[in-house]
């Protein structure tokens, strides 16, 4: 989800218990859903191929349920979080969850115990897991700032396709994306639809306070003003 903009290489800055068996191929069965998939629709007569959005949502639901069972604080982030807040179902290439740095190893053990592969990539700010064939990023640092208990406490409990889980608050979500802007990573076009979709739910005064003085976030805020996405900030006139 969040990329670390200072790195020119573009590196990225109450559910019923699920009994999970090892991953199995998606076989087409007539008359019943696969017994191993606790999230499958048992009314399906035939399992049809999933599109990418459906696959990502299923991975988010399954991983979120496992994280709730593990008992460590977390919050859904990224494009699936935007969707949970009412955004369009146009999901990106993976699922993102925020966890605290001090919980990373315990969370990894819990997911491995449930049958999910988890690995530590070269980047030192996340873990990567695989769920139902989709990549899951377990992020413990957003835009060079550690994920904190306070950040996760502000998360909102929302339904993600009938599975309730904590979702990163809209203000924190947009702030993390803007804080990642830099000379090496400054894709306003990717963040603009998110700002437009969530604008009524975002505390823009708080965003301005926390991002004040940074040139790229300031430029993005001005960009949003000129596009009438947010109201213009009252600026003091400079005496001539």
pLDDT (tens, 9 = 90+) of the chain, 240 residues, equals 544 544 444 444 433 333 333 333 333 333 333 333 444 443 343 455 578 889 999 999 999 999 999 999 999 999 899 999 998 777 878 899 999 999 999 999 999 999 999 999 999 999 999 999 999 999 999 878 899 999 999 999 999 999 999 999 999 999 988 988 888 888 898 899 999 999 999 999 999 998 877 899 999 999 999 999 999 987 655 555
Residue 209 near residue 178 (C-beta atoms within 8 A): no
Would you state the pLDDT for residue 48? Answer: 54
CA 153-182-88 angle, to 5 degrees, is: 55
- What crossing angle do the helices spanning 170-179 and 215-226 adopt, rounded to 10°? 120
pTM: 0.76
Rg for the chain (alpha carbons), in Å?
19
Burial of 58 (0-12, 13-18, 19+ CB in 10 A): buried
- Cβ within 8 Å of residue 167, ≥6 positions away: 75, 76, 77, 81, 84, 85, 155, 156, 157, 158, 160
* Cβ 169 vs Cβ 155: under 8 Å: yes
């Amino acid at each position: 989800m969040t990329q670390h903009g200072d790195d020119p290489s573009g590196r990225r800055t109450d559910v019923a218990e699920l009994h999970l068996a090892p991953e199995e191929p998606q076989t087409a069965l007539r008359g019943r859903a696969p017994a191993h998939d606790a999230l499958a629709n048992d009314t399906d007569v035939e399992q049809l191929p999933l599109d990418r959005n459906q696959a990502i949502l299923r991975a988010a639901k399954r991983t979120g349920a496992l994280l709730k069972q593990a008992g460590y604080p977390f919050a859904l982030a990224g494009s699936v979080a935007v969707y949970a807040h009412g955004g369009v179902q146009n999901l990106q290439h993976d699922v993102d969850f925020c966890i605290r740095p001090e919980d990373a190893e315990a969370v990894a053990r819990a997911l491995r115990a449930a049958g999910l592969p988890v690995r530590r990539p070269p980047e030192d700010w996340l873990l990567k897991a695989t769920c139902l064939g989709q990549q899951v990023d377990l992020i413990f640092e957003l835009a060079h700032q550690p994920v904190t208990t306070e950040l996760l406490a502000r998360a909102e409990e929302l339904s993600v396709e009938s599975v309730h889980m904590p979702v990163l608050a809209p203000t924190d979500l947009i702030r993390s994306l803007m804080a990642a802007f830099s000379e090496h990573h400054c894709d306003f076009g990717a963040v603009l639809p998110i700002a437009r979709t969530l604008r009524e739910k975002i505390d823009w005064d708080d965003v301005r306070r926390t991002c004040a003085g940074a040139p790229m976030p300031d430029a993005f805020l001005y960009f949003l003003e000129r596009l009438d996405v947010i109201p213009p900030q009252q600026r003091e006139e400079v005496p001539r």
